[in-house]
Structure 1
Amino acid sequence: MTTRRQVTRTTAATLAALLALTAAGCSSKAKEGGKNGDTADTGGVRTGQGVTDGTIKLGALTDMTGVYASLGKSVTQAQQLYVKKTNADGGICGRKIELTVRDHGYDPQKAVSGYTELSPQVLGFTQFIGSPFVAAVKQRIDGQDKGLVIPQAWSTSLLGSPYVRVVGNTYDVETINAIDFLMKEKGVGKGDGIGHVYFEGDYGENALAGSRYAAEQAGLTIVEQKIKPTDNDMTAQVSALKKAGVEGVVISAGPRQAASFVGVAAAVGLRAPVIGNNSAFSPQLLATQAGPALTKNYYVANPTEPIGTDTQDAKKLVADYEAAYPSDALDNGVVAGWTAASVFGEALKKACASKDLTREGVGKALLTINAYDSGFGTTHDFTDPKAPSSRQTVILQPDKKVTGGTKVVREAEISGAAKSYTPGG
């Protein structure tokens, strides 16, 4: 889910400047939720920032109007559904959950200011779309705020914090597993070339680190094609990779770039199988001219099974989501949003059992969860902040006939290369 997101180094510098400007203005407020502000209710539960006797306030920093608007909408609505159903069942620790949403439109200034606004008001964040935006405030989160943040982003730059916790495999691990699929299932072999089309910035370059490692382990050659998020026509990239004679292609970009690449490749006769990171697909693409090509020769590496998988958990979520949002399409953003919210909820329940609903208490509670079943084919271990919660990757294939537009072609698996790899190392 970036979301597998990216900004240029110039944008990163802008984020740093914004952070410097806003940090001073919010520092006094951030400290109000620290140990000096902690209290205990009549049941002996310690509480702090964002928690009252009747409510637990959480935040969501999303993109509902920018480049990842469809994803942000699905993630947010799934989390609102989680909150509604949890509250209907009595809440958590005798308290109702309140979710405050801010749309940053994938704009760095709005993202940082949104965090600055909400952080003093909430216990933590069930989502924060955009790895560069999370990275921009990570030092503040670790140093003074200490509120749990579950990003919809999977960069290794976010690892190492007890408070910013990546749910699922990181971009590099996911890409290693994707290349393993190309070798085991699609005929790519030692000595072959693999094209890698990737966004400049955090998302693409982290994924590229994974493909380079996989290539080194398997004796492959990576043919790199760096692009910008504004590059929507992949004709030049297809031509370059066809000329290079690649036997497979990895795409670490957005849905538009993936659709363009696969469509152009089909038109010019590049028959190499193409696999994208999980944010490089949207089911809405199946209704475009690229739809037929996507169903024939495109695959998606995903941290979980899709929304349309044939399990009781999936069927229940589909039914509940369709009842709540009957006019909105189902996609894997629903799974990502629901999983993140339920992980946060599980940490809240364990913190309640320990009678500590402070920010630090919730962070400690998450560290005790070592086998969380997401209900979508993946288990998560949160005991090590330096590691993603899972190294498992599910391989999907677009299929317009199934709910959510993708079907499973390889269940959750960890490749040998992914087991030996150190994320970010």
Structure 2
Amino acid sequence: MNRRLLASVVALCLMLTACSKATSGGQSSGGVRTGPGVTDTTIRLASLVDLTAVFAPLGKSLVQGTQLYWKLENEKGGVCGRKVEVTVKDHGYDPQKAVALYREVSADALALQTVLGSPVITALKPAINQDNVFVGFAGWSGSVLGDPHFQLVGTTYDIEAITGLDFLMREKGIKPGDKIGHVYFEGDFGENALRGSKYLAGQKGLTIVEQKIKASDTDLSAQVAAFRNAGVTAILVSAGPTQTASVAGVAKSVGLNVPIVANGPGFTPQLLSTPAGPALKENLYVVSSMAPAALDSPGAKAAQEAFTKAYPDAVPTQVGSVFGYTQAQVTRAVLQKACDNKDLTRAGLLTAAHQISGLDTGGLVAGPLDYTNPDQPPTRAVYLAKADSTVPGGLKAVGGAVEADAAKSYQPKA
């Protein structure tokens, strides 16, 4: 009886060891090494996004774009002979909640498809570095540069601000000696963008009038009053959609009729049907590496057609659905490269990520993407778009992709 029990225990241990090898560095069919989240039939990823707080409309749209892309790819066979599954969790833009959710999902995921929010990334960095996990960053803060774990889809907020301010000088009559208002979130997002605006201001003889705010600040009457009193001739917004709407609406109501340029996360098309809508349509421009949903490019048109078919009642968004779709496309390229390298472990995925250059998204991102140098953003090009309620996504491109001269020589810092 004891011998039978011992034999059963040994057999069970051998079974568990075999299962463990399938998920933590063993060999699978085709000789591909596999790690956590990978079986012979499935690759599991996880996403930590904001579905209930300041970026909820963008977060929900982002998830739609991600799910759409992987649905289409899985119908074609997936990657490396495996279907891709993405587990989505809502952190509500709360870093502490995000840390708890990361612990919940990380053991069973090869990589993080998406993590939304610079404060969340800051909180998760120690665990991400310890676990050696590849992370798709839903944000464009320069704070992740130099860390090989993070994938940026596009350029950084500071380069966006440089190019947006350059646009104002080229196209909207802003000149040396002018004062420019800049309202920005405290933390990586806003302060990274401010670094860019101050850099170009120093180059061009402009003065930046700063107004730092928190994500919980929704009425920006005091900040706009400060801008009016200072006599600003344009405003930059590096905050959320609610804050952009407040700036535009209040500025218009007090007679401060000046152009406004927002970083991509500062706009969602739902704003155009609010009381601030007329002011936004008149004065708002958005700067982002992501294509406006209505962009006339092969990649953007294909993504928009697929989105409309899959979600006929949903509204596409530039840094929501378009971003989610594109980020999944970039992740697929990384997974395929890892498969080609016969290494679907976490370390193998990171190696593959930094072997990718010249990645063409069909215009979904402004410029080809080069991930071979983690110290630099994969592109420095952006799109500028005007708020326009007559086109899908509420943004109409102002020309094509552009790379400001000042952005070419500027060196972003982590």
Q: Does 1:241 align with 2:227?
A: yes
Deviations 1:278-324 (A, max 9, x none): 11111001101111111111111111221111223222222222222
Amino acid at match of 1:87: N
The answer to whether the aligner puts 1:416 opposite 2:383 as a matched pair is no
Determine the structure 1 residue equivalent to 2:209: 223
Matches of 2:85 and 2:160, distance apart in 1: 33
Name the CA distance, whole Å, in 2 between partners of 1:83 and 1:408. 27
What is the CA-CA distance between 1:272 and the residue it aligns to? 2.0
Residues 1:262 and 2:251 are matched in the alignment: no
Alignment coverage as a number of residue pairs: 393
Matched, 1:81 2:68: yes
Q: Following the alignment from structure 2 to structure 1, what is the Cα–Cα distance between the partners of residues 20 and 378?
A: 27
Aligned to 1:379: 368
Does the CA-based 8 Å contact 1:188-1:247 persist in structure 2?
A: yes
TM normalised by structure 2 equals 0.91
Q: Which runs of 5+ in 1 are unaligned?
A: 1-31
Secondary structure at the counterpart of residue 43 of structure 2: strand
1:402 to 386, 391, 398: 391
Deviations 1:70-119 (A, max 9, x none): 11111111111111111100111111111111111212222111111111
- C-alpha distance in 2 between matches for 1:200 and 1:371: 34
| SS in structure 2 at match of 1:150 | strand
Q: Which residue of 1 aligns with 2:199?
A: 213
Q: Name which of 336, 342, 353 aligns with 2:340.
A: 353
Moved more, 264-273 or 399-408: 264-273
The answer for the alignment partner of 1:146 in structure 2 is: 132
CA distance in 2, matches of 1:33, 1:81: 31
Q: For residue 109 of structure 1, what is the aligned residue in structure 2?
A: 96
Task: Tell me the distance in 1 between the aligned counterparts of 2:288 and 2:63.
Answer: 19
CA deviation map 1:163-182 (0-9, x unaligned): 11221111111111111111
Percent identity, aligned pairs only? 49
1:123 to 98, 105, 110: 110
Q: State the distance in 2 between where 1:139 and 1:374 align.
A: 31
Give runs of aligned pairs for residues 151-166 of structure 1, distance below 5 A. 151-166=137-152
Cα distance in 2 for partners of 1:409, 1:167 equals 21
Distance in 2, Cα, partners of 1:257 & 1:109: 24
Q: 1:156 to 1:34 in 2, by over 3 A?
A: farther
For residue 378 of structure 1, report the CA deviation from its aligned partner: 2.7
Match of 1:192 among 154, 170, 178: 178
Contact conserved, 2:62 with 2:325, CA < 8 A, in 1?
yes
CA distance in structure 1 between the aligned counterparts of 2:334 and 2:195, rounded to whole angstroms: 32
Instruction: Give, in angstroms, the shift of residue 43 of structure 1.
Output: 1.2
C-alpha distance in 2 between matches for 1:354 and 1:280: 39
Shift of 1:33: 9.1
Partner Cα separation in structure 1 for residue 236 and residue 360 of structure 2 = 29
Paired residue secondary structure (1:172): helix
Deviates more, 1:337-346 or 1:256-265: 256-265
Structure 2 counterpart of 1:201: 187
Runs of 4+ in 1 over 3 A off after TM superposition: 32-37
User: What one-letter code is carried by the residue in structure 2 that aligns with 1:418?
Assistant: A
Contact 1:34 1:49 in 2 (8 A): no
Following superposition, the deviation at residue 34 of structure 1 comes to: 11
Confirm or deny that 1:389 pairs with 2:375. Answer: no
Match of 2:31 in 1: 44
Q: Distance in 1 between matches of 2:52 and 2:290?
A: 25
Secondary structure at 1:300 match in 2: strand
Counterpart residue identity of residue 419, structure 1: K
For normalisation by structure 1, the TM-score amounts to 0.89
Deviation at residue 271 of structure 1 after TM alignment: 2.2
Matched position secondary structure for 1:168: coil
Conservation of the 8 A alpha-carbon contact between 1:215 and 1:221:
yes
Q: Which residue pairs with 2:79 in the alignment?
A: 92
Alpha-carbon shift at residue 342 of structure 1 (Å): 0.7
Q: Judging changes above 3 Å, is the alpha-carbon distance between structure 1 residues 33 and 304 closer, same or farther for their aligned structure 2 residues? A: farther
Residue matched to 1:3: none
Amino acid at match of 1:420: S
Deviation at 1:386, TM superposition (A): 1.2
Deviation, structure 1 residue 410? 3.6
Name the amino acid aligned to 1:402. Answer: V
Structure with max Cα Rg: 2
Offset, 1:35: 12
Partner SS state of residue 276, structure 1 = strand
Cα offset for 1:207? 0.9
SS in 1 for 2:44: strand
Quick one: which amino acid aligns to residue 195 of structure 1?
G
Contact 1:33-1:48 within 8 A present in 2 as well: no
Partner of 2:236: 250
Q: Secondary structure at the match of 1:195?
A: strand
- Which residue is equivalent to 2:271? 285
